[in-house]
Amino acid sequence: MCDHPVIAELSLPSRLGFEKVAMSTAASVAGLMGFSNDRVDDLKTAVAEACINAMEHGNQFQERLAVAVTLTMGRQSLEVTIEDHGTGVNWRPATPDMGLKMGGAESARGMGLFLIQTLVDEVEFVCGDSRSHARLVIYLNGKESGPA
C-alpha cells in the first residue's frame, strides 16, 4: 500500500452490536488493500468474535470500558489488534467437539476463539495485568507471504 504502515483506530463501548462497527471498518480497509471477498468475510467474523470476547470477558460488558481496535495496514498484511481491560486468555483455543456438544456433554458455546484462530493467518493473545489484546493478521497472499 505504501512504505510505512497506515494505522486506523477505533474506540468502541462494551455493548453488543458495536462489534459490527469494527467488522465494517476492517472489511472496508481489507477491501481497499485488495483482499478477496472470502478473506474479507473471514476477517469480519474473526474481528467480531474478538470484539465480543473483549466486551464480555475482558470488560465484563461495562459500557464505560472501551474496546480499542487498531488496524495497521502493511504492504502485504493487515493486522488488527483488539484491546480490552481484562487480564486476557492464557490458554490455547480448543477445537470444539461437535459430537460432545450435540450429546450435551459440552456447552453449545465456546467456539469464538477457535473461529478466530481458524479464519486468520496469525493470531496471538497477549495477557497483561490491566489490559490485554488479541492480535489478528491476514496476509494478501496467504501465510506464505510472511510478515510485512
Partner 1 sequence: MTAPTKTTVEQHGEIAILRFEGDIMSASEEAVLGAYERVGVGTRKLLLDFSRVPYLNSSGIALVIRLLIAASKASQRTVCFGLSAHFEKVFRILGLARYTSLHVDEVAARAAAG
User: Cell match 461437535: residue?
Assistant: 98
Given 29, 50, 52, 136, the residue binding partner 1 (CB under 8 A): 52
- Which of 3, 38, 129, 144 binds partner 1 (CB under 8 A)? It is 38
- Residue 94 within binding range of partner 1, rule CB under 8 A: no
User: In angstroms, what is the minimal distance from the CB of 73 to partner 1?
Assistant: 22
**CA distances to 1, 4, 81, 117, 128 from 28, in Å:** 14, 19, 16, 21, 30
99 binds partner 1 (CB under 8 A): yes
CA-CA-CA-CA torsion for 15, 95, 89, 118, nearest 10 degrees?
A: -70
Give the DSSP letter of residue 94. Answer: P
Contact residues for partner 1 (CB under 8 A)?
A: 16-20, 38, 41-42, 45, 48-49, 52, 96-99, 101-102, 104, 107-109, 111-112, 114-115, 118
